[in-house]
Amino acid sequence: MISSLPITLGSIYPNLQSWIAGRNPSKVLVVSDINTNKYCLPLIREALPPNTIHFVLEPGIDQHLEQVKTLDTAERVWTIMHQHAIDRHGLVLNLGGGVVTDLGGFCAAVYKRGIPYASVPTSLLAMTDAAIGGKTGVDFLGLKNMLGVVVQPEHVFVDPIFLQTLPPRELVSGYAEMVKHALLGERELLDSITSMGPPLRAEPPAMFKTLTLSIQTKISIVQADPMEKGLRQLLNFGHTIGHALESWFLQSPDPLTHGEAVAIGLIAESYLARSTQLQWLNTILGASFQHRNIPEWSFEALWANALHDKKNKQGTVQMAVPGKNPFELQMLATERRDFEKALRYYNNLANTR
Ligand code: GLY
């Protein structure tokens, strides 16, 4: 355990096995995707009791999992839970990245008004962010995480061994969230990230230290404000623009990963906030993420997406950015003109790389 939130960081054995045995669930539903089912399930199979059933998420038509993080898929999970008569003493065990932990957590949180769930995050993004803090949900009408609830998992098992199963593009996706955590005010994490790159190198000792510091940052914010009444909104830094981009690019032949969208969002929002870390950010992220041009003709649709952001008030786009002091929240009320200026600033970085 690395804090009072139930998270184990380190080898999955024997922790998962003894934890499940201790809970003695009536049934276990493992929610995975086709990759984690193939590459990660073998690493936990022996920990699973005989009364385990499986739901394996298949990617959408363009091979992207985010495209199936929908109510339709949740309905399929609930149908399986019903068909196998899972009761409130059952357990949903998520084995995957952020899509799986969001979807599986949501299905557990809503089924029979809530059954327990635990997560084994397998991507860097899920380890450092998505699986921690209890946010669950699905996308709706093409917008990210429009439906969901905050329900804490019973336990999260973070084992960096799963990082070895990740394709490089997925590994680097989680890097953006660690960089975000560093910018919120955790100096040791910032130094640790600086010493790891750029570009990101995921050698085990350095990665383990950075991951631990990043998770600790996330935990301390979630503990201070679990229901996102104030401070937790800081974790949304980079996400107003990031989510608008991610939703829009989902329709394109080459969608952005969540981390790629957040990396652009961090740069654009830091520009708007006149952050003193902007240069550092451009260097760190520029070396690890490929530059993606955001076409001018998409700006109107991107602004429309940003107007749906959950932080907004009375039709204004509100961005959560770090204040002057560590772990200080600053809300930036943003107009369309500035939003577009920030996107142009990002586009122009291509000329400086
Ligand atoms: N991923 C942002 C949060 O958990 O609040």
Determine the atom of ligand 1 nearest the C-alpha atom of 236: 2
pLDDT value, residue 2: 46
Q: CA-CA distance, 83 to 100, in Å (whole number)? A: 21
Probe residue for ligand 1, chosen from 135, 217, 233 as the CB with the greatest number of ligand atoms within 8 Å: 135
Residue 161's contacts (CB-CB under 8 Å, 6 or more residues apart) are 11, 12, 43
How many CB atoms sit inside 10 A of residue 273's CB?
20
CA nearest to 157, candidates 178, 184, 126: 126
Please check whether residue 75 is in contact with residue 111, taking contact to mean a CB–CB distance below 8 angstroms: no
Does residue 235's CB lie within 6 angstroms of at least one atom of ligand 1?
yes
Nearest C-alpha to atom 5 of ligand 1 is from which residue?
Answer: 235
145 is catalytic: no
Strand partners, 95: 120
Q: CA-CA distance, 38 to 45, in Å (whole number)? A: 11
Extract the tokens encoding 261. Answer: 């969208």
187-219 per-position pLDDT tens digit: 999 999 888 876 566 666 778 889 999 999 999
This prediction's pTM: 0.91
Q: Classify 112 in phi/psi space as left (phi over 0), alpha (psi -120 to 50) or beta.
A: left
DSSP secondary structure letters along 12-69: -TTHHHHHHHHH--S-EEEEEEHHHHHHTHHHHGGGS-SSEEEEEEPP-TTS-GGGG-
pLDDT value, residue 203: 64
Nearest C-alpha to atom 4 of ligand 1 is from which residue?
Answer: 133
pLDDT value, residue 65: 87
CA nearest to 247, candidates 66, 73, 65, 62: 66
232 is catalytic: yes
The reply to whether omega before 14 is within 30° of 0 (cis) is: yes
End-to-end CA distance of the chain: 42
Does residue 180's CB lie within 6 angstroms of at least one atom of ligand 1?
no
Probe residue for ligand 1, chosen from 5, 173, 218 as the CB with the greatest number of ligand atoms within 8 Å: 218
**Mean pLDDT (10-residue bins), the chain, 353 residues:** 74 93 97 96 95 93 82 98 98 97 98 98 95 96 92 96 87 92 92 78 75 94 94 96 93 90 98 95 92 96 92 86 94 95 97 75
CA nearest to 94, candidates 154, 43, 32, 41: 32
Q: Cβ-count burial of 310 within 10 angstroms (0-12 exposed, 13-18 middle, 19+ buried)? A: middle
DSSP secondary structure letters along 277-310: THHHHHHHHHHHS------GGGHHHHHHHHTT-T
Q: CA-CA distance, 326 to 323, in Å (whole number)? A: 7
For helices 258-272 and 168-183, angle between their N-to-C axes, nearest 10 degrees: 30
CA nearest to 146, candidates 74, 251, 232: 74
pLDDT value, residue 76: 98
